[in-house]
Structure 1
Amino acid sequence: MLGFRVHDRVFSCVFIYLLVSSFCNAASGNHAKLHAVGGIVDYSSVTGKQQKIAMEMAIVDYHAQVRQLHPRVVLHVMDSRKDPLRAASLAKKLIKKENVSVIIGLDRYDEAVIVAQLGNTSQVPVLSLASDVPFSAPSLWPFLVNMARSQRAQMKAVAAIVQSWQWRKVTVIYEDTPSSVNGIFPDLIEALQEVNADIDYYLPLQAFPLYSIQEKLRDLQRRQSRVFIVHTSSSLAINIFLEAKRLKMMKKEFVWITTDSISNFIDSFNSSTISAMQGVLGVKGFSAFYVQKRYKDFSMRFKAKFRSEHPTQKYMQPGTFALNAYDALYTAVLAIEGKQNPKSLAHNLINHTSVDGEKLLARILQSKFMGLSGEVNFKGGTLAPSKIFQIVNVIGKSYLRLGYWSEGLGFSMNINNGTKYSKSMKILGQVNWPGRSSTTPKGWAIATSSNRLRIGVPGRNTFKEFVNVTYAHPGKPIVGGWSIDVFKAVVQNLPYNLLYDFFPYNGTYDALVQEISLSTFDAVVGDTNIVANRCAYAEFSQPYSDSGLQLLVYSKSKTSAARAWLFMKPFTTCTWISTALVNLYSGFVVWFIERQTNRDFEGSWFKQCGTIIWLAFTTLFTSLQGDKLHSNLSRMAAVIWLFVALAITSSYTASLTSFLTYQNFDPPVTTVETLIRTGAKVGCNGNSFVVKYLQHVLDFDPQNIVRIYKEDDYPEALRSGQIAAAFLEVPYIKLLLAKNCKGFKTGESYKVGGFGFSGTLRKLEKTMLDSNKCSESDDKDDYSLGLDSFWGLFAITGGASTIAFLFYFFPCRIPKWSGFSSRVFSETEPKHETHNLPGRFASSQHDPDQDERVLFDAEMKNQ
């Protein structure tokens, strides 16, 4: 304490000496030019008090650096009392009476705007310390310069840390001041949303009283979120962490992240504070490393002066507001002196004449030096934000620099050329978490005072496999099923604990969803389809099963009587008749040619008719022996006939196999158009939206819609013919087919989400398809082979038989044919003479062997 008192006396003596020297200099007629700087702050706030002291210290440091006994710049600070109109009045007074060159302060946006208007009129630069001044402000008020840095990049760095460890809920602890609230929240909320994280709770704090901090931290301890982002002044942060340690909130499963308003000043904290902050992650300004020594000296002097002027208040660490005020005044002094940096102030100590406002503004915007708050460099009338931040981890007696975060690049171990960057903080290595834990905290814990969610479930579900409600005791439902299992699996993977209770609801699905909008339920879990009209009452999750509506039909097995005649199905009736006629005709031609020379064709007319029929049809199934035919004409007709018979029998065998394998069931009706045209009955879930969908979208007659409420009723209704088809959601179709696979078949499917419910999409699609629909002929023979498949073969064999018949018949009637006819005739007749044959077939030549055969046959008959 003695050291502080001695220091206070030295500081006071220097300050009084400068004031007296200034007065004496003016009284002695020294006409050195003085430059006035105005300050407008709120004395009633801690921020305003810090800003006033910081600006006064900047004036003292300036005169000490230029080593002048006579003041070159004087400071006039006034109290705005949080009143924008008073701030405007004070600014006008400073400009008119005090002839100030620059006005500094105004940490409220409403004050800064109204004073900036006066600055434009009087061409006096206004250096605002408000952190919520928009980027577009300099374009509206050219003489307004924002000395508060944008927090956008830093909030992205904080969000990147949250994303790296997959935390989804955070709590923000902030100092209850307008600049703190308006300065970070828009950027922090946006940054967290980009990484799919949300702010679970906001905790505003003030430096005093201490019991308020304790009480609010206890409330925070009872909540679920365990990830805390702290954005306060360094002095308030000290009290927060000391109290958090007492409440055992610096142990495992807790996460503490500090912004640069705290992290930049960790080196200045005492050992007890450092001990309380073990495991804290900090985002630290990149330039803070270069100003630590200057800050330590400034902090010591600041605390001494603050205590001397405000002895009733707790000792205060200089915050970001004080540092910005200090750098703002130094920026104004450098511009007035026409210097580029503070080191050049000691040179060229001449009395500068005053400059106009535009030139002074240009000098301010050209400033570039390292201040206490970081690098002072303006872009577009605003202090350029930091792009690079250090990531530090408090451990031991100080902190460990883990690495860096760069905007647009991510995390890295260093910032040299060729550095490897990553979007995940895990690239920086092991983090020491609170409680000296090396295990990454989950970021949440079971809350002790959270309200349990009311989850509505379908109480009368048709398909129990999805949601099944039973009662072991009255009033205590047991809820199970696949949809419930999916919900529980999702809850287990949440990064926080979700407390809930199931409440069965016995109404329709539409009514169940509407109960959410009536606050009866917080959510609904079950086999609830996503359709357009329900979106007006609730938000739906991502579908976890196939969506849509599908047609289910039953294929009836053919009766034994129908199967008995299945062998006739391969050919159409016309094909059967044509095959018979062609075979009879071909057999007749072969018989006619061979009847005089082939003994197999002899006998009575009745026998020969049987031979013709036998010859016609056995050719289809057995090969005709060519060596038994004596005429080349009959052989020619028989060869072609055999080829056609082979093609017909092969086609018949293949077609019959297909019918026996695939055509065992009657073809079911699988189109909506057929069902509507025939007036068939269709079934659906009576509690679902499908009833309205069938009526208003698919245009079914309401009288043809059968409402079914039990799962087992669907197969029975389809088998019995009570309904011709069933319309069910795709998951239900899969379940029914898993249980009843034999005989059931799926048909068309329909999308029911979005415009599908109103029918607009389906009607537009139907219009498009109908305008391009080709005509389709009805195939009444169920894939039986028709005459069009064989008429070419029939024409070939018929033509060949006819040609053979003509070549055989006409040469006898026209004996004058000597060329080709004689050759054919000689080939068809036997070379030996047969006296027993009548007419033209008798030969003039005598064959002894034939006579012997005739005598032998006669003797055999007599015996």
Structure 2
Amino acid sequence: MQLIVSVHSFFLFVSVCFHAVTALESTVPVKVGVILDMNTTVGKMGLECIKVALSDFYASHGYYKTRLILHPRDSKGNVVDAALAAQDLLNNVEVKAIIGPQQSTQANFVINLGNNSKIPIITFSATSPSLTSLRSPYFIRATLNDSAQLEAITSVIKAFGWREVVPIYVDNEFGEGIISYLTDHLQEINARIPYRSVIHPFASDEEIVAELYKLETMPTRVFIVHMQIPLGARLFKKIEEVGMMSKGYVWIMTDGMTSLLSLMDPLVIDSMQGVLGVKPHVLKRKRLEEFTDRWNSKHKHEMELNIFGLWAYDAATALARATENSDNQNFNNLSQVLSTSTSFRGLSGEFHIVNGQLQSSTFQIVNVLGEGEIAIGFWTRENGFLRRLNVKKLIWPGEITFVPKGWVIPTNGKKLRIGVPPSTFFPELVEVIRDSSKNLSMVKGYCIDVFNAVMEILPYAVPYEFIPFQNPNGELAGSYNDLIYQVYLENYDAVVGDVTILANRSSYVDFTLPYAESGVRLLVPLKEKKKNAWIFLRPLTWQLWLTSGCCFLGIGLVILILESRNTSESQQICRSFWSTFTHIVHSNKDEVVNNVTKFVVIIWCFVVLILTQSYTASLSSMLTVQQLKPSIADIQELIKSGQSVAYPGHSFALGLLEQLKVPKSQMKTFRTPTDLHAAIQNGSVAGLFDEIPYLNLFQAKSCSKYTMVEPTYKTDGFGFLSSISLNQLVKYTKFLNEMLMINLWVFFMLDCRHSQ
């Protein structure tokens, strides 16, 4: 029996060997070209991973009839050699597909050659979005499009509240490819690009430093670096040397550098502490760990495995699968099979190609720290940017842990020149005090307090000085529009004062969000009170008086009837009406015997309570309204009455009055609130037409002898203005404004009481 089994096993072994040899002899070789930069780490790694991928694939798929035969070529890092290599492979070798080239700048011409020859060009490292615009059906990108990472980058920018970003990119197809996409993504989150920094691929160190010094003079402190390692490494070394890897700066690397961080020199990494980076996230699966162990055992000291090696492995696997699945003997439909039928779980994760493009899923956000990086969060299309809970603090350039503001006011060693309008009408808002002996000017007031308080809490020091916009007589040197135009002419860097945000002014300067609400209304004196001794009769109408009297008589008759049994006839009438009357004033002490009478008395007590409360409320309301009633209802009544209206000089209120068709003969200006108050009291002016903050001040100083009437002509309020963006100050002015405004009105109410 054992002999029979042994013979059976022998014949089975021989049969398997025969079929294996037969299958090997019947395989179809398929020539595939490989164009890479063999002197670079990515090129060497890519070729090695392609070889390992094919070896692994055919080891597990020995029954496949096709076998890819590699024909590697060295592009030597330039476009010409890449194009010559492609022509050689297509014309002389007659390859059925090409894996490569390595760089985006090389891919453009090679894709055109593949398109003309109808041969698929498969790249695992050319990431520029501009290659997509070629719309070649024979171009297969087995790597992520650079534009895919921009959503992750803009999510980070939005999460930290940065409003301006400067991209620094290499001046070639790789660098320029993402700029238009980056601009669109930033616009979606209301961020902008004030400047683009373009660096030539072969720029000298001096040219790089000159560009960095130019960036240093700009207010933006958030930079996105998009370039490849050789130039990027030089850039970051120079960034540290010029002092821009310090507090307040934000540096964000794109995938092109972040994924290859392990290939950088330790000295370069040391100069990048606090930099953020974005790269594709690769899940650690058992198969990947096994491959990594195999790789490290053979190549650890030569080159460390990265995402481009994984994509090269998966690209070779995808091509081997597509070649086997091709139903064409000449493999002319390889491109179509790759674009429509490539979907499997590779070393890099889910490897799914749609319309010739590898689809993205998750990006990892890292923070350069120490000798490497730490993951601080992830981005997915479904959930956006998610911070890791176990990472408590990020380390930013300068070894700070608080989030940089991303913006500063560039000083270049000079103080900011802040223009100040001298206010002659309301010095409480802005006042310029001239010291002739020292030839100095001191400014103070509410607007100045807000600006100083904001500047004090900024996380960076900004030197500035106030320069009054006045003539030798101490008066405003022109109008407010003239002052604003001085900022446009760059005679001032900014203006701080009671300046109203208007559309025509915003056309040539930038305003902050308003730090004080505003609007224009008419302030008129309260109507003179007329004393009336009979006013106590007015709260109740004659119908209500009649109803109350009838109720009084009715209740009295009911009590008369109910109590008639217990009293003598002579006392019945007097006692019943007396009982009803006394319940209006106080509780009745007369004894009520009948229970029904007691019930009627209770109802009467409720009626009396309602009547007395209504009377008291109505009388109080009449007395109050009489005190607060304006002397003029609105601006139209003032125009019809022919009375004059006051407005402050140099104010845009004049233009508004003209729009309302107020005759010039009815418009007057006054220099001080005291003169205006006197004019209103003597009847020469009926009211003041001005902005609400000024009216509040005038009303508070006059101890509420005036009131504002509708309508309100809306304006955007007071704001700081500059030829550069000051919007970073807005978040600080919001709560400071509330605090200072309350203190301001308390001060004026005290001033009013002292004046009395």
Both proteins in one fold, TM over 0.5? yes
CA distance in 2, matches of 1:54, 1:249: 34
Q: Residue 333 of structure 2 is aligned with which of 351, 358, 363? A: 358
CA distance in 1, matches of 2:519, 2:653: 11
Partner of 2:697: 735
Does the 8 Å contact 1:532/1:753 carry over to 2? no
Q: Residue 194 of structure 1 is aligned with which of 189, 197, 203? A: 189
Q: Residue 449 of structure 1 is aligned with which of 412, 416, 439? A: 412
> Are positions 1:463 and 2:463 aligned together?
no
**SS class of match (1:377):** strand
Offset of residue 751 of structure 1: 2.0
Offset of residue 677 of structure 1: 1.4
**SS class of match (2:669):** strand
* Aligned residue identity for 2:173: P
Partner of 1:689: 652
Does the 8 Å contact 1:452/1:500 carry over to 2? yes
Moved more, 217-226 or 528-537: 217-226
Q: Residue 546 of structure 1 is aligned with which of 514, 517, 530? A: 517
Partner of 1:101: 96
* Aligned residue identity for 1:684: Y
Q: Provide closer, same or farther for how the CA distance between residues 738 and 661 of structure 1 changes in structure 2, counting only shifts above 3 A.
A: closer
What TM-score do the two structures reach when normalised by structure 2? Answer: 0.63
> Are positions 1:334 and 2:320 aligned together?
yes
> Are positions 1:531 and 2:502 aligned together?
yes
The within-5 A match list for 1:354-393 is 354-363=329-338, 365-368=340-343, 376-389=351-364, 391=366
Partner of 2:71: 74
The within-5 A match list for 1:271-286 is 279-286=274-281
CA distance in 2, matches of 1:74, 1:687: 82
Offset of residue 717 of structure 1: 1.7
Does the 8 Å contact 2:272/2:368 carry over to 1? no
CA distance in 2, matches of 1:264, 1:658: 76
Moved more, 165-174 or 704-713: 165-174
CA distance in 2, matches of 1:430, 1:125: 47
* Aligned residue identity for 1:725: G
CA distance in 2, matches of 1:440, 1:400: 17
The within-5 A match list for 1:777-788 is none
Aligned residues: 597
Does the 8 Å contact 2:366/2:373 carry over to 1? no
Offset of residue 302 of structure 1: 7.6
> Are positions 1:722 and 2:684 aligned together?
yes
Q: Provide closer, same or farther for how the CA distance between residues 546 and 359 of structure 1 changes in structure 2, counting only shifts above 3 A.
A: same
Partner of 1:143: 138
Q: Provide closer, same or farther for how the CA distance between residues 292 and 398 of structure 1 changes in structure 2, counting only shifts above 3 A.
A: farther
Q: Provide closer, same or farther for how the CA distance between residues 519 and 372 of structure 1 changes in structure 2, counting only shifts above 3 A.
A: farther
Q: Residue 482 of structure 1 is aligned with which of 446, 455, 465? A: 446
CA distance in 1, matches of 2:85, 2:454: 61
Q: What per-residue deviation string (whole Å, max 9, x for no partner) do you get for residues 531-590 of structure 1?
A: 3433433343322223211111124656xxx86xx5588999xx9xxxxxxxxxxxxxxx
Q: What per-residue deviation string (whole Å, max 9, x for no partner) do you get for residues 25-67 of structure 1?
A: xxxxx999664445778xxxx8997776666656665776669
Offset of residue 684 of structure 1: 0.5
Q: Residue 133 of structure 1 is aligned with which of 129, 132, 145? A: 129
* Aligned residue identity for 1:381: G
CA distance in 2, matches of 1:213, 1:294: 41
Offset of residue 383 of structure 1: 1.6
Does the 8 Å contact 2:377/2:387 carry over to 1? no
Q: Provide closer, same or farther for how the CA distance between residues 752 and 131 of structure 1 changes in structure 2, counting only shifts above 3 A.
A: same
CA distance in 2, matches of 1:658, 1:389: 67
The within-5 A match list for 1:318-717 is 326=312, 330=316, 333-334=319-320, 337-338=323-324, 354-363=329-338, 365-368=340-343, 376-389=351-364, 391=366, 394-395=369-370, 398-402=372-376, 404-410=378-384, 428-432=391-395, 449=412, 452-472=415-435, 476-494=440-458, 497-505=461-469, 506-555=477-526, 557=528, 566-567=532-533, 668-696=631-659, 698-717=660-679
Q: What per-residue deviation string (whole Å, max 9, x for no partner) do you get for residues 268-317 of structure 1?
A: 556656655555554443218647657768977987xxxxxxxxxxxxx9
Q: Provide closer, same or farther for how the CA distance between residues 703 and 656 of structure 1 changes in structure 2, counting only shifts above 3 A.
A: same
- Give ranges in structure 1 of 5+ residues lacking alignment: 1-29, 304-316, 341-351, 412-422, 576-650, 755-863
Offset of residue 682 of structure 1: 0.8
Q: Provide closer, same or farther for how the CA distance between residues 302 and 334 of structure 1 changes in structure 2, counting only shifts above 3 A.
A: farther
CA distance in 1, matches of 2:459, 2:180: 23
Does the 8 Å contact 1:553/1:746 carry over to 2? yes
Does the 8 Å contact 1:258/1:283 carry over to 2? yes
Does the 8 Å contact 1:171/1:201 carry over to 2? yes
* Aligned residue identity for 1:363: L
Offset of residue 522 of structure 1: 4.0
Q: Provide closer, same or farther for how the CA distance between residues 208 and 544 of structure 1 changes in structure 2, counting only shifts above 3 A.
A: closer
CA distance in 1, matches of 2:119, 2:253: 37
**SS class of match (2:699):** helix
Q: Provide closer, same or farther for how the CA distance between residues 723 and 324 of structure 1 changes in structure 2, counting only shifts above 3 A.
A: farther
Offset of residue 680 of structure 1: 1.2
**SS class of match (1:72):** strand
Does the 8 Å contact 1:227/1:443 carry over to 2? yes
Q: What per-residue deviation string (whole Å, max 9, x for no partner) do you get for residues 700-724 of structure 1?
A: 1112111233333321221121211
- Give ranges in structure 2 of 5+ residues lacking alignment: 1-24, 470-476, 542-613, 717-756
Offset of residue 679 of structure 1: 1.5
CA distance in 1, matches of 2:52, 2:242: 42
Does the 8 Å contact 1:170/1:228 carry over to 2? yes
**SS class of match (2:140):** strand
Offset of residue 742 of structure 1: 4.5
What TM-score do the two structures reach when normalised by structure 1? Answer: 0.56
Q: What per-residue deviation string (whole Å, max 9, x for no partner) do you get for residues 671-698 of structure 1?
A: 22221112211111121111111112x1
Q: Provide closer, same or farther for how the CA distance between residues 137 and 336 of structure 1 changes in structure 2, counting only shifts above 3 A.
A: same
Offset of residue 512 of structure 1: 2.7
Question: Quick check: which has more Rg, 1 or 2?
Answer: 1
> Are positions 1:233 and 2:219 aligned together?
no
**SS class of match (1:733):** helix
CA distance in 2, matches of 1:427, 1:513: 50
**SS class of match (1:685):** coil
Moved more, 680-689 or 46-55: 46-55
> Are positions 1:179 and 2:174 aligned together?
yes
**SS class of match (1:708):** coil
Does the 8 Å contact 1:510/1:689 carry over to 2? no
Offset of residue 487 of structure 1: 2.8
* Aligned residue identity for 1:541: T
Q: What per-residue deviation string (whole Å, max 9, x for no partner) do you get for residues 310-363 of structure 1?
A: xxxxxxx9998x7599469636742564279xxxxxxxxxxx984443344313
CA distance in 1, matches of 2:375, 2:625: 75
CA distance in 1, matches of 2:144, 2:345: 14
Q: Provide closer, same or farther for how the CA distance between residues 281 and 93 of structure 1 changes in structure 2, counting only shifts above 3 A.
A: closer
Offset of residue 381 of structure 1: 2.4
Q: Which has the higher contact order (CA 8 A, sep 6+)?
A: 2
CA distance in 1, matches of 2:628, 2:221: 65
